[in-house]
A and B are shown apart, each in its own frame.
Chain A
Amino acid sequence: MTPPLRNLALCLGLLCSTTALADARIEARRHFQRGMAMINGGEFDRGVEELKEAYAIKPHPNVLYNIARAYLDAGRVGEAQEYFRRYLSFNPPDSEQVRATLARLDEATARKEQEVAVATAKPRSLEMPPPPTTTSGGAAVDAESVKKLNALMARLETAVAKAEQLATRPDPEVADPLPAPLISAGTSADEEAADAVPYEETVVTASRRAQTTLEAPNASTIITGEEIRLSGATTLVEVLRRVPGADVMGLGVGSANVSLRGFNQRLSNKVLVLLDGRTEYQDFLGLTVWSAIPVGLEEIERIEVIRGPGSALYGANAMLGVINIITRAPGTGPVGQFSITGGMGDSAFASFVHSASSGGFRYRASAAFSQADKWSRDFDDSRPDIASRVEESDLALRSARGNLTTHYAFNREVSVSAAAGVNRLFTEIYPLGLLRNFYFDGLSAYAKSDLAAGPVHLKFFWNHLTTTAGPQYSALGEGRLDSTPVSNVFNGEALWQHSFELGGRHELNLGVEGRFKRVSWSFIEGLREELHLAAFAQDDWKIVEPFRIVASYRLDRHPLLDNGRPGLAHSPRVSAVWVAAPGHALRGSFATAFREPTFLESYTSVRIPIPGVPGASALTEGSTTLRPEQMVAFEVGYRGELPEIGLEWDLTGYQNVVRDLINLSAVERVRPEDSFDPVTNTYLLGRSSFRNEAGAFTARGVELGAKFSPVDGLSLTGSGAFQTIGASEVPEDYVCAPCTQAPAFKAFLGANYRTQVGFDFSVEGAYSSRTTWIEREPSAADPTQIQFVPNALGEHFVVNARIGYRLMNDKVTVALVGQNLGPRHQQHPFGNFVDRRFFGTLTVTP
């Protein structure tokens, strides 16, 4: 064999002879299930090996705990102690209890060793292999110790048996004094279900409590932190392309709009984005500024995407869905991690995350810097009539951010969390109408606190945004539109969770919420304030074991909903979930949802220069009498999983009927007496107002998502969505923009292959079918005629790939990432031409 062929064969041999390292969660889950089954069957050694394999693929402290319990079950106390210690090294929430247990075991072992040394002649009363830490032969224990250990073993056996019955769920009550991992309910990573099983996919966003995705009443997609990191994505929105039905529209490197099931637009405003339960949706604009999110991809535990209406729990703006970004629990994961990335487009990213704990106190601190140039520029610097209004006209994104999250557990029942973050950033946003890309040079900050006291959860947060924003390019001689909005949102929420039996098991959530918004902005003529109040209730009723009904209702009081006066919005939801067979669930739901008018839509009064006519402008006005956008949704779904072969899938069909869409009207004449605007010294061509559109927009679609690990080391993720949107009850000549702007077909396929020799390979592709965007433009012949112009946009492919190499026991990872490897394309007619970029990344986890 020639040297090159030999090298190739060696290489292939190395790659193919590795242990299974597929989609980490699915693969680990497979090993975990197999191991627990073996342990239940008395095959401790093989079972423990499987658990260790699961742990090697995806470390999870609960696995260590289960290994420890298995060893203890097998009478191998020393190994059990070792694994309890390893479990404790993760600073789990139940550390104190496990420490106490460990201390008792240590004490018993020490006493046993001592007694063995003293009374070697005494027969052993407990059939147990000697602990590996003992060096002498048989050890004698006193009757009390034997009794204690026997009792302990008996309880453990009961616990294990119960765990087997519950599909390997650890039960803290039965296992006491060896508690199951303590994880409280809530919406952040440290608030998973108390009965969470390692590697079982759970979702907290769908019902405000942890439940498996099989039990979730909505179509939900979970993107794990590992998936994110393996994908090589540098922005949050990139990883959302895998979500069935997600419309991800990148206009610039730092600017994107994300919608679910259509209705995407510049200033996409119908999807609620949360970070650990705190809204990232900018209420006053109706926009999520993705670049302003103060945590990095490396801090994300998982992203839960709930497709479909969420107003019944989250109120306004959770109309088409909820995206909840859940970060790693403070004090968990690596103590420190550095990461630097550099590459094309003047791109540079650097981050540091530190996480630690002491006693009941845990924290995570992070700091990061990122910057990147645009993919393409709209104007050349040499253009004599256009001036760039920013110093660095190539720059698309620059962000310096810091975040601190802390948690203190007083005991199992009472804990308090506090978090704060700040992000000083420069990015772009793309406003509506005649406006094009704006620079966004500002500061976002937040502070949040959570108090959990038994069934009561209190949450308070403050969101702040100050920015200077304006057109990146403006014509010389034209009026300027720069402004400095300042937004402060104060939100308080109380949630009470209670379980009871009444014709079945009920999980009841009752909550109240208040939000005070205060926005100062010249676009809305000064200072505006709004107070929103809400109350909500949800009952998850397990009528009989495979069948559940989830009923939710939320009442929102909005200051303008009743024709400019305070009014109420009702958001009911009823869902039925039938787990027809283990691993197979059918669900159906009916819900309504709404989106409240934003400050921009309610109060705006701004004069937009007419391009090419310096003496003219068009007035854009808000309306305080807007009705909220409303949606009635039906959804049916089937979720299935075959963990034995590593396959999970979800098939969903839906119909959303949206009414009262809020859009800008065509430009209509102002009264002649109002034609001259003394503020801008221009003549007002007309007025374009936010208004509710007549008619109904019906979106029907089918979505399929699947994850599959067919062979060891290979993980496949795929999704597809087909959708149509039609308009009814509209005038004959109505041009339906939402009907043509949503791609009819979207697909995603991703594959990653992880080897034990350190190489990781990942490639992902997303396809979006062609669209036609109806945007307003001044007529070429006469700029004072504003027309609605159809802009056809071809289909596009987004292909990303990553090659990573782990070394030094995975403490160091180097990776080469290629983004947008498909053809250069636009995702919106006014957006950048998205082009390929390559990055090199170094990650150090000491």
Chain B
Amino acid sequence: MSRSLVAGLTLGLLLSACEPPPVIPTADRRQQGANSRIEGEILVSARSRGNVVLFLFDVNRPPPPQGTGRPVAFTFIPANAIFGASLEDTAHAGPFVAPFAFSQVPAGTYLIRGFLDAYGGTTTPERTPDFIPWYGVTSEVNRGDVGGAYVDPLTRAFRTVTLAEDAEGRLQPVSGVTVTFQESALTVVPVDRPAFEVVTDSATFSPQLGNLETNKVVQLNVAPLRAGVIDQRAPAFLFRYQDENLDGVVDQLNGIPQLWPRVIVRKLADEANPALLVDQNDRDRNGILDPDGFVDYPHLDLSTGTPVAADGQPDLVVLAAGWNPAQVAAQLNDPGGVPLTEPDPTRPGFTRFVTVPMTSLQLVLGSSAGPLALDASNPLAPAPLAVIPPGLYAIVLIQQTGQTWRLPNELNPPVASELNLPSDFPSQGFVLTVTPR
């Protein structure tokens, strides 16, 4: 018995001696869950020179102009890795190729966008790399940058990347993704971001729900800003009718023609928000409405015109606002009121609505039915609220190029000082105070 016991123990010891250690994730979040990678290359055909920044977006949270999503990750490919010996030879347009990879990406479907942060070459020889991801006022493309994306090589339509599990339940990597940067009139950003200032006699808006008389008009002027890391020397509003489906018909929402730039007047958080950078119901500023601790308002039943109880979901409160129709008509329509068009260079034989660079736009706070607040948590079907929530509101412009600008922003002098940003732009601290009557 003892012999067999010893033999058994010895055998057991020998067998277990070579067993590999089990894989057990620790508290480190990187180890938990199944993540994978997306890798490929960027293909740059441009005479411009610069670093490339690539962004990974959740397909459900696309970036402007399609949405307001923020990237889930970004990566940086330096110019010397892209252009190599041709870095200084701006006559050579490539194509240039460099690898990229996103790792620790959870399962899902993604969009890949990017831009070449141009600092040399044909378009913007005088600029320096100006992208800084950490500030709203420095984290987007500017004039001369070259946009790029993961697109279908033939149709140029955006493509998505899906990380999915295989038959055995293992998340598979995706490789061979080519992100193209083709320098052209369509991809080179023509203007700087729509940096603006508000011209008004009062930053206070005192609306009365449904009372047309209480609509308010403010003027937005472009605001060239150039100091330190801020370089918005040539801002402009690219004024234009929207036609997302390219059917030649102006897009409308609730019977209202949609225009570029889009304007959003969004409610700011009421709680401690000294920098005025936190939107209501998005305390962590991740672009996703807070799942708990949110503010919920009663909605308006359009059929009865009576309030209905709050739906228990976080609201994304915006005020109804739009461009002055008279200014629109004067700039975008012919004398007969028909939208002006021009040949579409990307689609021979087709036309598109004209784009008019503007330096000043008149914004109407209110709608044709008077002031109104909406819950835009579903952007395709904004729901009117039974009240106009009082408080502070930000004004956000979204250009057709995807460029945005927001007031107030980090250049608000008290905030700018804290962030070591230039603090000599008091206009950037404008905030709309809404005090319903």
Check if A and B associate.
yes
Binding site for B on A (CB under 8 A): 342-347, 373-380, 382-386, 394, 436, 475-478, 611-616, 669, 671-673, 675-676, 681-683, 685, 773, 775, 777-785, 789, 791, 816, 826, 829-833, 835, 838-840
A780 vs chain B, min Cβ distance (A): 6
| Contact A385:B36 (CB < 8 A) given known A344-B13, A614-B102 | yes
A781: chain B residues at CB < 8 Å are 284, 286, 288
Write 21 A-B pairs (CB below 8 A) sorted by A numbering: A344-B17, A347-B17, A376-B21, A376-B23, A378-B26, A378-B31, A383-B35, A613-B73, A614-B75, A614-B103, A669-B420, A672-B419, A672-B421, A676-B132, A683-B76, A683-B132, A773-B27, A777-B28, A782-B284, A830-B27, A835-B22
Q: A385 CA to B173 CA in the complex, in Å?
A: 8
B230 vs chain A, min Cβ distance (A): 9
**B380 in the interface, Cβ–Cβ < 8 Å?**
no
Q: A595 CA to B367 CA in the complex, in Å?
A: 68
| Contact A778:B37 (CB < 8 A) given known A373-B21, A671-B420, A672-B420 | no
A3 vs chain B, min Cβ distance (A): 11
Specify which of A343, A672, A830, A839 is in contact with B26 (CB 8 Å cutoff). A830
Q: A784 CA to B134 CA in the complex, in Å?
A: 9
| Contact across chains for B13 and A681 when beta carbons are under 8 A apart | no
| Contact across chains for A676 and B129 when beta carbons are under 8 A apart | yes
**B104 in the interface, Cβ–Cβ < 8 Å?**
yes
| Contact A384:B171 (CB < 8 A) given known A615-B76, A672-B421 | yes
A846 vs chain B, min Cβ distance (A): 25
Specify which of B22, B74, B77 is in contact with A376 (CB 8 Å cutoff). B22
| Contact across chains for B172 and A379 when beta carbons are under 8 A apart | no
| Contact across chains for A378 and B132 when beta carbons are under 8 A apart | no
| Contact across chains for B284 and A478 when beta carbons are under 8 A apart | no
| Contact across chains for A477 and B39 when beta carbons are under 8 A apart | yes
Chain B: number of interface residues, binned into ranges: 35 or more
**B162 in the interface, Cβ–Cβ < 8 Å?**
no
Q: A826 CA to B170 CA in the complex, in Å?
A: 27
Residue of B nearest to A476 (CB): B103
Chain A binding site: helix, strand, loop or mixed by DSSP?
A: loop
A378: chain B residues at CB < 8 Å are 23, 25-26, 28, 31
A756 vs chain B, min Cβ distance (A): 21
| Contact across chains for A394 and B173 when beta carbons are under 8 A apart | no
A228 vs chain B, min Cβ distance (A): 23
Specify which of B17, B19, B134, B172 is in contact with A685 (CB 8 Å cutoff). B134
**B53 in the interface, Cβ–Cβ < 8 Å?**
yes
B13: chain A residues at CB < 8 Å are 342-344, 838-840
| Contact across chains for A614 and B73 when beta carbons are under 8 A apart | yes
Specify which of B28, B173, B229, B288 is in contact with A436 (CB 8 Å cutoff). B28
Q: A779 CA to B27 CA in the complex, in Å?
A: 13
| Contact across chains for B73 and A783 when beta carbons are under 8 A apart | yes
A832: chain B residues at CB < 8 Å are 21, 26
Q: A682 CA to B51 CA in the complex, in Å?
A: 11
B76: chain A residues at CB < 8 Å are 614-615, 681-683
B96 vs chain A, min Cβ distance (A): 16
A669: chain B residues at CB < 8 Å are 134, 419-420
Residue of B nearest to A790 (CB): B27
User: For chain B residues 15-73, which have a beta carbon within 8 Å of chain A?
Assistant: 16-31, 34-37, 39, 51, 53-54, 70, 72-73
Q: A358 CA to B228 CA in the complex, in Å?
A: 78
Q: A783 CA to B105 CA in the complex, in Å?
A: 11
B217 vs chain A, min Cβ distance (A): 35
| Contact across chains for B23 and A377 when beta carbons are under 8 A apart | yes
B199: chain A residues at CB < 8 Å are none
| Contact across chains for B134 and A385 when beta carbons are under 8 A apart | no
Residue of B nearest to A378 (CB): B31
| Contact across chains for B19 and A344 when beta carbons are under 8 A apart | yes
**B425 in the interface, Cβ–Cβ < 8 Å?**
no
Residue of A nearest to B101 (CB): A477
| Contact across chains for B103 and A377 when beta carbons are under 8 A apart | no
B423 vs chain A, min Cβ distance (A): 12
| Contact A614:B135 (CB < 8 A) given known A378-B25, A830-B26, A833-B24 | no
Specify which of B101, B104, B170, B284 is in contact with A382 (CB 8 Å cutoff). B170
Interface-central residue, B27, B102, B229, by most chain A CB under 10 Å: B27
| Contact A376:B24 (CB < 8 A) given known A385-B103, A476-B103 | yes
B73: chain A residues at CB < 8 Å are 612-615, 783
Q: A688 CA to B102 CA in the complex, in Å?
A: 25
| Contact A373:B20 (CB < 8 A) given known A343-B13, A384-B173 | yes
| Contact across chains for A616 and B17 when beta carbons are under 8 A apart | no
**B249 in the interface, Cβ–Cβ < 8 Å?**
no
B51: chain A residues at CB < 8 Å are 681
**B133 in the interface, Cβ–Cβ < 8 Å?**
yes
**B256 in the interface, Cβ–Cβ < 8 Å?**
no
Q: Apart from A386-B103, A611-B29, what 17 extra A-B contacts exist at CB < 8 Å?
A: A343-B13, A346-B18, A377-B20, A379-B31, A475-B37, A476-B39, A476-B103, A477-B37, A611-B104, A612-B104, A614-B73, A672-B138, A675-B132, A782-B284, A784-B134, A838-B12, A838-B13
User: For chain B residues 142-196, which have a beta carbon within 8 Å of chain A?
Assistant: 170-173
Q: A716 CA to B245 CA in the complex, in Å?
A: 84
Pick the 8 closest A-B CB pairs, nearest first.
A477-B101, A829-B27, A385-B103, A384-B173, A475-B103, A385-B37, A614-B75, A615-B76
Residue of A nearest to B10 (CB): A840
**B203 in the interface, Cβ–Cβ < 8 Å?**
no
A379: chain B residues at CB < 8 Å are 23, 25, 31
B77: chain A residues at CB < 8 Å are 681
Q: A615 CA to B54 CA in the complex, in Å?
A: 9
**B78 in the interface, Cβ–Cβ < 8 Å?**
yes
B134: chain A residues at CB < 8 Å are 669, 672, 675, 683, 685, 784
Specify which of B28, B172, B286 is in contact with A782 (CB 8 Å cutoff). B286
Residue of A nearest to B229 (CB): A672
B97 vs chain A, min Cβ distance (A): 16
B369: chain A residues at CB < 8 Å are none
| Contact across chains for B20 and A394 when beta carbons are under 8 A apart | yes
| Contact across chains for A672 and B105 when beta carbons are under 8 A apart | no
Interface string of B272-293 (1 = CB under 8 A from A): 0000000000001010100000
Specify which of B21, B25, B29 is in contact with A780 (CB 8 Å cutoff). B29
Residue of B nearest to A251 (CB): B26
A428 vs chain B, min Cβ distance (A): 12
B39: chain A residues at CB < 8 Å are 476-477
**B405 in the interface, Cβ–Cβ < 8 Å?**
no
User: For chain B residues 81-138, which have a beta carbon within 8 Å of chain A?
Assistant: 100-105, 129, 132-135, 138
| Contact across chains for A346 and B17 when beta carbons are under 8 A apart | yes
Specify which of B17, B27, B101 is in contact with A476 (CB 8 Å cutoff). B101
A8 vs chain B, min Cβ distance (A): 13
User: For chain B residues 196-219, which have a beta carbon within 8 Å of chain A?
Assistant: none
Q: A170 CA to B20 CA in the complex, in Å?
A: 56
| Contact across chains for B103 and A477 when beta carbons are under 8 A apart | yes
B29: chain A residues at CB < 8 Å are 611, 777-778, 780
**B9 in the interface, Cβ–Cβ < 8 Å?**
yes
A89 vs chain B, min Cβ distance (A): 37
B122 vs chain A, min Cβ distance (A): 24
A835: chain B residues at CB < 8 Å are 22
| Contact across chains for A475 and B129 when beta carbons are under 8 A apart | no
B19: chain A residues at CB < 8 Å are 344-345
Q: A475 CA to B20 CA in the complex, in Å?
A: 22
Q: A833 CA to B172 CA in the complex, in Å?
A: 27
User: For chain B residues 395-437, which have a beta carbon within 8 Å of chain A?
Assistant: 419-421
Q: A384 CA to B26 CA in the complex, in Å?
A: 18
Specify which of B70, B74, B170, B284 is in contact with A615 (CB 8 Å cutoff). B74
B341 vs chain A, min Cβ distance (A): 40
A828 vs chain B, min Cβ distance (A): 8
A280 vs chain B, min Cβ distance (A): 27
Q: A781 CA to B283 CA in the complex, in Å?
A: 12
| Contact across chains for A614 and B31 when beta carbons are under 8 A apart | no
A778: chain B residues at CB < 8 Å are 29
A784: chain B residues at CB < 8 Å are 133-134
A348 vs chain B, min Cβ distance (A): 9
